Structure 1
Amino acid sequence: MADLFADDEPPQRALDEPGEDAPLADRLRPRDLSEVIGQEHITGPEGAIGRMVAAGRLSSLILWGPPGTGKTSIARLLAAAVGMRYEAVSAVFSGVADLKKAFAAAETAKKAGQRTLLFVDEIHRFNRAQQDGFLPFVERGTVTLVGATTENPSFELNAALLSRAQVLILHRLDAAALGRLLDRAEDLEGPLPLTNPAREALIASADGDGRFLLNQAETLYAAKIAEPLDPAALGQFLQRRVAVYDKDREGHYNLISALHKAVRGSDPQASLYYLARMLTAGEEPLFLARRLIRMAVEDIGMADPGALTQCIAAKDAYQFLGSPEGELALAQACVYLATAPKSNAVYKAQKAAWKSARETGSLMPPMNIVNAPTKLMKQVGYGAGYTYDHDADEGFSGDNYWPDEMEPQAFYQPVERGFERKVRERLAYWDKLRDERR
């Protein structure tokens, strides 16, 4: 009788296998590392994870990559691939008590001969003291730690923790990888109600996030759309993914670095693109105005002195107009900088002069150029022999202005570009006159 009833019952589902009513992204989770899309550089036979699995032994890992790129799936599949017990905590929802419970369970499992892979999602959200708490358990082999983070581990994780883990970088999913995800969704749920151009637009809207893409696809399936949507109709039906951008984290620094280097590289098109990326993501416009001013004095300088004027004017214009009108002034300044002749001669001269000033200490200027406001100072030689340059031939005396104990230096070396070409000619002319009058 028991066998008869068993035949009528549905097959037992694995505990971690999602049900039919689970979200599409969960139902399409890979069941093997070979099914992970877009991260073959680490999961393939020649990748770090592929080699570890082949050897049957894991080291602690930090999986660093954008949202929706497979960090959680890889950790879960890793445990299964090497026969380890899997335990997961999230730094967003877990506290010290949860960690103690996880470590205690891992200690018990270790005594029974079972190794534990502890997956810590958003590990960068744990503070420094909490991160230090992992160290003894990692060192004793109680757990093999696999942490996931969207933030640069160099900035967000303790050096001690990083020294005990290998950092693996997950790539943002490209269009081909996202297309393969949609193929899997359509194999499971049927064709999406989209024209081919709309399908491409859907992939582009995901901005490299596989989870977001599958959630959008699920919305389309649930809507029971009769006729395929074109890109315009799709745009009205769905929202684009908001670009990942935290103003105090790595995305911010990456983009401002890209903007600065594009300006320095005289590419106005790329410069405008990165300026737009930051402004549309909600960056503070006055932060960008300050950085443009910095570029004007660091990378253009005397090659085009008008660059600084343009940037100060753009800052004033933005403060006067506000957004969005004032952003046009920032764009104009950005284009001006990118198309201006470049020179870092003043930047280099400033560094060299500051270094020399620190090294030479309190050397006295030559007596002929120090002020003599009192009779006594005049009597002891202050200001003696000074030549008023406006009274000299060609408005140039050629006097020595350096301390007697110091050789004249050449900090500023103008380049043969822009306005500095004329400055260079002028300095050469004065050097010639100085030599003649010695």
Structure 2
Amino acid sequence: MPHPESTYDRRRLRQWLAGEARADGVARRDLLRLLAAAGLTAAVPTALATPPAVAAPRTNATATAPGIVKPLPDEWFTIRGTNAETKFPSLAGTGYHTPVDHFFVRNHTATPVLDAETWKLTVWGDGLAHPEPVEFTLDELKRLPATSRTAFVECAGNGRSFFATQQGQTVSGTAWTLGAIGTAHWKGVRLAEVLRRAGLTQRAVDVLPRGLDAEYVTADGTNLGRVRRPLPLSKALDDVLLAYEMNGEPLPADHGHPVRVLVPGWVGIASIKWVGDIEVAAQPLYSPWNTDFYRLLGDAYPDGGSAPLTHQTLKSAFELAWNADLPAATDQRLTGRSWSGAGGVVRVDVSTDGGTTWRRARLHDAPRRAGWVRWSTDWRPTTPGTYTLLARATDTTGRSQPETTVPNTQGYLFDAVVRHPVQVV
């Protein structure tokens, strides 16, 4: 039977969120402790001891990040603590599905390297018809009816840095730009099928998957336990997968090997990686990841904040370097991607003059729920100087990206139009 939930002090946790540590990342001393527990201490580079503000620039073509297994070429990734953000220019020409070697990595602790032969999924709880846990091996899951879905996974904090750089607001957490997202073709078994075979009853209310990565310990020593995030039964029975393949291959270690949860269109924390057990409960379930994290908090959200985050929001990104140099009097083909967790993107408008005028971009994909569209537009700048490019998406709900996003203390769900500078030379 899985161990009981770890206890934690809410007051101290909120103080930590207010600035004593990062909400999305791990302090070095905590990271060393977590990696030691996972047997990965040697993976911590010595350079990490230098504070980020004065760290020497990387000179190697391929960098490393603590607790991430796959190579992280500098031209593809920006390393952010225990995480790796995809550089959007590297996606140009890669096709609709993000190649696995380009796919961003979001780790609360470190990537565990698990043996698929000995891995088991335990389903348990008072929402089942019997008290005994039910176990599934990977081979047993693969013998169940398979389902495939194309969907993006996106961190709730994607775009967080723009609260500061565009809106002048202070928020906590990893300073993602727009690269904490990737779209893949996933294959697995529907969670509904597994729950049915485990003995789901009408008493069930919530379903809580839990990962097999190390327990998350905050900077002040508070142990929050393993990463876990409850789902309402209605969502669990809808389109959620227990995925074991990604783009036609077994899941890589950094992306959840051997099995992960995939919750299409929802914030990434719901798609638990390295899932080891699933509690099925006859009452609502809670964890730090739907109470103190992954809710909108702040002055605009009184009375304890918003409900736990579910659907992702609307965004657009150019496949172009920040402050890229473009030659004057030369035809340019600007490309990018737009996406929404609430519905397919049906229109993208682009401005090359800071928002004074707009023109409609060409869409190269059909609108897809929990997917993105690739788009392009032509531009011939005639005069050298600094230009600001904007891309604004509209989805099937009728919603378009706003000029600004209402701030929240942890910097979630930034959806405003991003102001992308380029230099015409």
- The two structures share one fold, judged by TM-score above 0.5: no
Task: Give the TM-score, by structure 2 length.
Answer: 0.20
Greater relative contact order (CA < 8 Å, ≥ 6 in sequence): 2
Q: Tell me the TM-score normalized by structure 1.
A: 0.20
Could you say which structure has the higher strand fraction? 2
The structure in which a higher percent of residues are helix is: 1
